[in-house]
């Protein structure tokens, strides 16, 4: 029995399914990572992987960036956690407010899911309306208010245990301005939330003119508009997609990169909305009007790492490099698919890379069709690449970072070519 197999048995006896996140589940056995550096990681058996998951897109600077590590280590010698205010959270909020066009105030929380929960609560409080409009297939975390419509083409919650009373407050529409305008005829809807990249970090793209039109529709309806920039924030540009394209929401949710790749999240936005969390304010006998707690919000350790990361992220250099590496990867995979006679397309914005196996054009496809890849293909692609030392983000997608190099991209493309050849030979992909 290998070390990975042994650890898998131990994990399954201690954790449901042997994992702490359902997307980490791999049958028959997952790999257990021992260390990660730059754009590479090694499992407990010493096998090396070129990483295109990068901490679920959180490690924009690369794993264990020395400045982030040093900052966290230094902070740990001062105060690991005291549940008090500290200078680091002010500096961190100032970075966010400086870089994000929507950010007049920032409040930190403990995860991306917590960020979308808080943003939705703020939207409801400010609008005075309970209904929320979301977009088909867009992902906003695992909480009850985010699961209806998370699976493209379905309005059912993607989990048991979500009360119908909550799902009934959520309306799902297609990612187009007319569908949104029609949905907003419902006078009970006061909040709109959109994944700024398009569904699932851009695997179902959202064109800039479409996003602008959807923004305009929400504005005209008087709804509070939330951009989920948990993936795009500090990746699409120093100020996320909103800065790159000049489309500014009322509220923005952040996580992953905003923390320097450490655990945490944030909500930022217009002062008049954010100040609903100010203890000096009162409404309807409540002070603050919108309650938000969280023991580990803006932990000194996280703030220290985030501030160290922001010094690099604010320059734009990491983003430009990661974008260039993703372009190399996309071009290389496209050439390999063509060489092996595999129908499909390779696409992505910024530092993402998505593969679609099927018609060369996705223009007429629904989000459900784009995301409906046969399990045999997904498992074969991911398993084949893992055997050859390459790990994907999820499904058929990759992200790059400031730590990827042309040499690593070339090496990874060799693994893609060998995997494609094996999948064609085995009949998993028709050539």
**Do the domain assignments include residue 90?**
yes
The bridge status of strand 189-195 relative to strand 224-228 is: parallel
Q: Are residues 325 and 308 in the same domain?
A: no
For 326-357, how does the pLDDT look when each residue is reduced to its tens digit (9 = 90+)? 999 999 999 999 999 999 999 999 999 999 99
For 277-310, how does the pLDDT look when each residue is reduced to its tens digit (9 = 90+)? 999 999 999 999 999 999 999 999 999 999 999 9
Query: What would the mean pLDDT of 14-21 be, rounded to a whole number?
Result: 92
Of 279, 313, 347, the domain-final residue: 313
| Percent of the chain scoring above 70 in pLDDT | 100
Q: Are residues 131 and 230 in the same domain?
A: yes
**Do the domain assignments include residue 7?**
no
Tell me phi and psi for residue 264, to 5 degrees: 150, 180
**Do the domain assignments include residue 106?**
yes
Q: Please list, in sequence order, all residues whose beta carbon lies within 8 angstroms of the beta carbon of residue 360, skipping any fewer than 6 positions away.
A: 343, 344, 345
Among candidate residues 403, 350, 397, 401, the one with its CA nearest the CA of residue 196: 350
**Do the domain assignments include residue 243?**
yes
pLDDT > 80? residue 360: no
Q: Are residues 211 and 324 in the same domain?
A: no
Going by pLDDT thresholds of 50, 70 and 90, the confidence category of residue 29 is confident
Q: Are residues 98 and 195 in the same domain?
A: yes
Going by pLDDT thresholds of 50, 70 and 90, the confidence category of residue 30 is confident
Lowest-pLDDT range of 30-34, 180-184, 350-354: 30-34
Q: Are residues 322 and 194 in the same domain?
A: no
The angle that helices 317-339 and 300-313 make with each other, rounded to 10 degrees, is 80
**Do the domain assignments include residue 24?**
no
Q: Are residues 213 and 181 in the same domain?
A: yes
Q: Please list, in sequence order, all residues whose beta carbon lies within 8 angstroms of the beta carbon of residue 213, skipping any fewer than 6 positions away.
A: 177
CA distance 403 to 325: 9
Say how many domains are in the chain: 2
Q: Are residues 414 and 285 in the same domain?
A: no
Going by pLDDT thresholds of 50, 70 and 90, the confidence category of residue 371 is confident
Q: Are residues 299 and 325 in the same domain?
A: no
User: From its phi and psi, is residue 64 left (phi > 0), alpha (psi between -120 and 50) or beta?
Assistant: left
CATH assignment at residue 137: 3.40.640.10
For residues 119, 100, 394, 298, the Cα torsion angle rounded to the nearest 10 degrees is -60
**286 strand-pairing partners:** 283
pLDDT > 90? residue 24: no
Do residues 60 and 318 make contact, with C-beta atoms less than 8 angstroms apart? yes
For 205-222, how does the pLDDT look when each residue is reduced to its tens digit (9 = 90+)? 999 999 999 999 999 999
Per DSSP, the residues of 368-398 read HHHH---HHHHHHHHHHHHHTTEE-SBTTEE
Q: Are residues 409 and 289 in the same domain?
A: no
Of 283, 313, 343, the domain-final residue: 313
Of 313, 329, 355, the domain-final residue: 313
**Do the domain assignments include residue 260?**
yes
With residue 189 as reference, give the H or E element that holds it: strand 189-195
Q: Are residues 253 and 345 in the same domain?
A: no
**Do the domain assignments include residue 194?**
yes
Which range marks the domain in which residue 355 is found?
Answer: 31-64+316-425
**Do the domain assignments include residue 10?**
no
CB-hemisphere CA count at 13 Å for 81?
A: 8
Q: Are residues 218 and 345 in the same domain?
A: no
Query: What would the mean pLDDT of 184-199 be, rounded to a whole number?
Result: 97
Q: Are residues 87 and 219 in the same domain?
A: yes
| Percent of the chain scoring above 90 in pLDDT | 91
pLDDT the model gives residue 278: 97
Largest CA distance in the chain: 69
CA distance 352 to 52: 9
CATH assignment at residue 38: 3.90.1150.10
Going by pLDDT thresholds of 50, 70 and 90, the confidence category of residue 237 is very high
């Amino acid at each position: 029995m290998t070390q990975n197999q042994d650890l898998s048995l131990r994990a399954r006896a201690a954790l449901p399914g042997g994992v702490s996140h359902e997307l980490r589940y791999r049958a028959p056995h997952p790999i257990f990572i021992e260390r990660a550096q730059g754009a590479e990681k090694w499992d407990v058996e010493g096998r090396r992987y070129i990483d295109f998951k990068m901490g679920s897109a959180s490690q924009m600077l690369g794993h264990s960036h020395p400045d982030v590590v040093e900052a966290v280590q230094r902070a740990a010698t001062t105060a690991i956690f005291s549940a008090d205010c500290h200078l680091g959270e002010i500096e961190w909020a100032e970075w966010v407010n400086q870089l994000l066009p929507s950010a007049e105030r920032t409040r930190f929380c403990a995860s991306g899911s917590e960020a979308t929960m808080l943003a939705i609560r703020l939207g409801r409080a400010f609008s005075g309306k309970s209904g929320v409009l979301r977009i088909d297939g867009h992902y906003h975390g695992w909480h009850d208010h985010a699961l209806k419509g998370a699976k493209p083409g379905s309005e059912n919650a993607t989990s048991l245990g979500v009360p119908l009373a909550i799902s009934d407050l959520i309306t799902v529409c297609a990612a187009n301005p007319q569908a949104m305008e029609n949905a907003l005829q419902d006078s009970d809807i006061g909040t709109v939330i959109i994944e700024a990249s398009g569904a699932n970090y851009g695997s179902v793209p959202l064109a800039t003119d479409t996003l602008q039109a959807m923004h305009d529709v929400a504005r005209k309806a008087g709804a509070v508009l939330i951009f989920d920039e948990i993936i795009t924030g500090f990746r699409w540009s120093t100020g996320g997609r909103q800065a790159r394209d000049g489309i500014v929401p009322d509220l923005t949710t952040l996580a992953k990169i905003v923390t320097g790749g450490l655990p945490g999240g944030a909500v930022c936005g217009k002062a008049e909305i954010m100040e609903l969390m100010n203890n000096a304010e009162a409404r309807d006998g409540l002070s603050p009007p919108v309650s938000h707690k969280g023991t580990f919000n803006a932990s000194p350790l996280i703030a220290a790492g985030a501030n160290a990361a922001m010094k690099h992220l604010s320059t734009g250099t990491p983003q430009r490099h990661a974008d260039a590496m993703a372009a190399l990867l996309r071009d290389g995979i496209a050439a390999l698919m063509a060489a092996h006679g595999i129908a499909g397309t390779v696409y992505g914005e910024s530092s993402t890379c998505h593969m679609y196996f099927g018609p060369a054009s996705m223009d007429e496809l629904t989000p459900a069709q784009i995301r409906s890849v046969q399990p045999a293909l997904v498992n074969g692609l991911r398993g084949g690449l893992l055997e050859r030392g390459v790990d994907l983000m999820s499904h058929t997608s990759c992200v790059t970072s400031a730590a990827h190099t042309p040499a690593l991209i070339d090496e990874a493309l060799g693994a893609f070519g060998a995997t494609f050849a094996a999948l064609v030979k085995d009949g998993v992909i028709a050539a």
